[in-house]
Structure 1
Amino acid sequence: MRKQLIRKNLMLVIGTFLVFFLVALITIYFYWQEQSKTLVSYVLSEVEVEYEQFDGSLEDFILNFDTDTGRRITILDENGIVLIDSDDPRTGQDKSQRPEIKNLGSVATRTSETVGVELLYMATELDDGNILRVAIPLQAQAKLYSTILWIYIGITILLIGVYYAGLIRINQNLLAPWEKVKVGLQNLASGNYQMMALTSPYPEINELLNEMNQINLETDQHLRSIETYQIQLKEILNELKQAVMLFDEKEMLVYFNTDAASYFSLSDDAYDKPSYYMIRDIDLKQAIHDVNEDHQNRVFDFKHEGKLLEVKVFHVNAEGRNRSHATVLVLIKDVTHDRAIEQIKKDFFSHASHELKSPLTAIRGYAELIEHGLIKENEYQKIAHDIVLQSETMTALVEDMLMLSRLENLKESNETKVMLNQVLETVIHQLKPIIDSKNMKLSVKAQPIEALCDPVDMQKLFKNLIENAIKYSDAEKKIEINLSRTNDKVHFSVKDQGIGIAEEHQQRVFERFYRVDKGRLDGGTGLGLAIVKHISLKYHGSIDLKSSLSRGTTITVKLDL
């Protein structure tokens, strides 16, 4: 910009000086013509006066006249015949056709054939009828004219140089601040804002620079706010635990988060690509197209790489916005686990209602029999005992359900330092009547272990595993119990010689209300092993089950205590 401005201004001033120079040249030329005429006229008048006052012959007049100045004097008769010439001894030549002779009093310019130089001629008629012609060299006048011309050229060049230097200086003062503005805007665009120094000699420009600094500062603050907002928004979208994709009105991808990149193997090359470029599912592609066309939101499920995904496709209202903005929002969430939990809850409530229904039905049946007087007097004690047993079954079921609910919700428990071997001894003591009734052998190896935990959890874990071993073992069988600590983990195992568990059931025995033998009534709630599993998860543990039919079962629980 600076070079263009200087070039334009310089061309303007040179053009102006050229026009001025041409006008001056023409003026000088005409001035020179006039001066030459005046000079030759003056010389002619001087010679004429001397001629009129001279009394001698023409030869004496020529000889006595000073011709060292380069003046040439010629005297002709009235017919233009040369009588005498100061530079040519010949006489009698006819000069009547020369311009200065034909037009007396006018100036003629030509190269003399006699002396070989360019001369200015002028002639006049004398009192005696003769003609006096005077010629002076043009060289002297031309030299004067040339000198004046070169002086003018020098002055012109000097003025142009001074103007050019001043123009550069002025342009520097005017344009240097704008260079700073340019650099400042470039820095702002690259995110490296810097204040511009106010160094212009012009207060108006400094004031403008100050305004630009303020505008740039506010713009930088806004850009940083937008950048911060974009970073925060991107982090939020990446933490949503669901895929987010945005498409424009042409169904070109304009945004995706990390989950979407994971689902569809997207990279930065996917931007501005159509939906079919990265999505293979026909239903999802069709949903994006339909929402873009009819603006009706859609929600549906589809399977992708073994996962169940819930898809929500929304139309984004872009009225009044640039058409390049997103118009379709796609949210994709992995609901595989959620749907499994929902199904488990449905099964849980279904099984729970079924398990509660059985003792309630029995109690109600006994109550109706008593109400209608259909019970014999000697049967009351047996019926009362059955009612107590059914109520105990309901109580145990409700307690296990509450226990399982507490473990699933991870509510705070009463953790304290507990001697696990003592808890185990208490549980075995509680179960001793059942063990003795089946004449079973019990082998217990328990190390004294202190752990920070909820004693209720440990009591329930020990009791449920030992009870299962007792229930599914025949009389006079052996049960081995081991409690130890290895590498900061507590190991608790129960080994029986019972009926065992078929391989196809081993992965499901820890589910709620799952029974290997649907027809077997063992008096349990069906939640024992499910509670064991949740206690293990609570303490970051693991469960290992080894079993074979008719050869017994070994369950080992490892807890991070």
Structure 2
Amino acid sequence: MARLVTLSLTVFVIFSVILATFIDDTMTLSLVIFILWLALTIFVYAIYRGASKMQRELGKINKYLKMLDTVDTIDLDRIFFTREFEQINQNLTKVLEKSKKREEIKQRYNAKLKLKNKQRGDMISAIAHEFRNPIASIIGYAQTLQEDKDIPPALHDKFLGKICNNGDKIEALLSRLVLWNKFESGEAKLHQSTFDLMSLTQEVKSALVDDKYKSRKIIIQGEPRQLEADRTLIEIVIKNLIENALKYSKDDVLVSITDDRFSVSDKGVGISEDDIEKVTKKFYRSGTHNWDNSMGLGLSIVKKILLLHNTELEIQSTLDKGSTFSFKI
């Protein structure tokens, strides 16, 4: 504005001198110089008003540029002094929208990264916890056999059996990890065949009773039911559900097979309402009961397998009274 005023005064003086040279009448000269002064004054005032408005608009835009990471919307006038400022406003709005989208993407990525890191930590902790007991047992029995050369043959065979059993546990844990990794990477595929669900359940029952639960009773009710599905994966589902019931109840476990539903019921410790939605999440461990001592993957794998077969795991449970795990056939 100072430059503009200086320029205007200079122009006024130059034109006044030129007019004085050509106009001899004092009255006419005074009138012309007054009109010239008035025109320049109006021009300078108009420029001043426009410049002031542009300055305010630039101030607002500068304010939003400084707070681009914190503001959600831009509250600028829609009508600007110049078209250029209107374009700047439009471009600034686009920049803000893109910035917010990038920030949202960044936040989602950071949240996923934190979740992945937490899951990785939980997984390492779970693996260490689950492998510690069988490995400690194997080492203990092996050291005893190594140090005591005169151990009775019967006890010797018993210790070897314990070592084999704990080795099988480690193998089962590793197999479960490999299976879960296939589900996570999308590599798991169905190999469907037609089989009898009742016969498969009987096979799982026999394996569990003969192996680890010789003193327990598993009651199977229902009729033969032909099913078209992945037999290996459905076997994993049945084994997980029955073994889960055996672990957390001391009474008989009831397996029911109807035309449209497979269910496993127990009269065990039950699950609280807060935990029902959580027990099928991977790596989840209840503060009260360890619902799955296989790294928190058992029920999560069951859920994944059933989803592959277009059905889902349903849980009905009452704390300290028992639970029923079922899925529609």
Give yes or no for TM over 0.5.
Answer: yes
Deviations 1:376-406, CA, capped at 9 Å, x for gaps = 5135334323212211111111111112112
Larger Rg: 1
Deviation at residue 449 of structure 1 after TM alignment: 3.3
1:365 aligns with 2:184: no
Deviation at residue 503 of structure 1 after TM alignment: 2.6
Letter in structure 1 aligned against 2:170: M
| Residue 271 of structure 1: aligned partner | 90
**Structure 1 Cα separation of the partners of residues 295 and 125 of structure 2:** 14
Deviation at residue 343 of structure 1 after TM alignment: 2.3
**Structure 2 Cα separation of the partners of residues 515 and 334 of structure 1:** 25
**Structure 2 Cα separation of the partners of residues 513 and 310 of structure 1:** 26
Does the 8 A contact of 2:249 with 2:267 survive in 1?
Answer: yes
Matches within 5 A, 1:11-30: none
Matches within 5 A, 1:462-477: 462-475=238-251, 477=252
Deviations 1:277-324, CA, capped at 9 Å, x for gaps = 779xxxx89xxxxxxxxxxxxx9x7xxxxxxx453xxxxxxxxxxxxx
Deviation at residue 532 of structure 1 after TM alignment: 0.5
SS where residue 484 of structure 1 aligns?
Answer: coil
**Structure 2 Cα separation of the partners of residues 478 and 466 of structure 1:** 7
| Residue 348 of structure 1: aligned partner | 123
| Residue 417 of structure 1: aligned partner | 193
**Structure 2 Cα separation of the partners of residues 388 and 410 of structure 1:** 33
Does the 8 A contact of 1:410 with 1:538 survive in 2?
Answer: no
1:499 aligns with 2:269: yes
**Structure 2 Cα separation of the partners of residues 515 and 412 of structure 1:** 25
| Cα distance change of structure 1 residues 333 and 499 upon mapping to structure 2, 3 Å threshold | closer
| Residue 508 of structure 1: aligned partner | 278
Which of the two has greater helix per residue? 2
| Residue 54 of structure 2: aligned partner | none
Structure 2: gaps (5+ residues): 1-60, 66-71, 79-88
The count of aligned residue pairs is 248
What is the TM-score normalised by the length of structure 2?
0.60
| Cα distance change of structure 1 residues 427 and 438 upon mapping to structure 2, 3 Å threshold | same
**Structure 2 Cα separation of the partners of residues 436 and 389 of structure 1:** 13
| Residue 289 of structure 1: aligned partner | none
Deviation at residue 252 of structure 1 after TM alignment: 8.0
Deviations 1:89-137, CA, capped at 9 Å, x for gaps = xxxxxxxxxxxxxxxxxxxxxxxxxxxxxxxxxxxxxxxxxxxxxxxxx
| Residue 181 of structure 2: aligned partner | 405
Matches within 5 A, 1:84-103: none
Does the 8 A contact of 1:510 with 1:530 survive in 2?
Answer: yes
| Residue 427 of structure 1: aligned partner | 204
| Residue 448 of structure 1: aligned partner | 225
Letter in structure 1 aligned against 2:237: L
Does the 8 A contact of 1:509 with 1:529 survive in 2?
Answer: yes
**Structure 2 Cα separation of the partners of residues 434 and 387 of structure 1:** 14
**Structure 2 Cα separation of the partners of residues 522 and 275 of structure 1:** 50
SS where residue 501 of structure 1 aligns?
Answer: coil
1:392 aligns with 2:162: no
1:554 to 318, 321, 324: 324
**Structure 2 Cα separation of the partners of residues 374 and 435 of structure 1:** 28
Identity of aligned residues (%): 23
Structure 1: gaps (5+ residues): 1-248, 254-263, 286-298, 302-308, 312-331, 486-490
Deviation at residue 494 of structure 1 after TM alignment: 1.5
Deviations 1:179-199, CA, capped at 9 Å, x for gaps = xxxxxxxxxxxxxxxxxxxxx
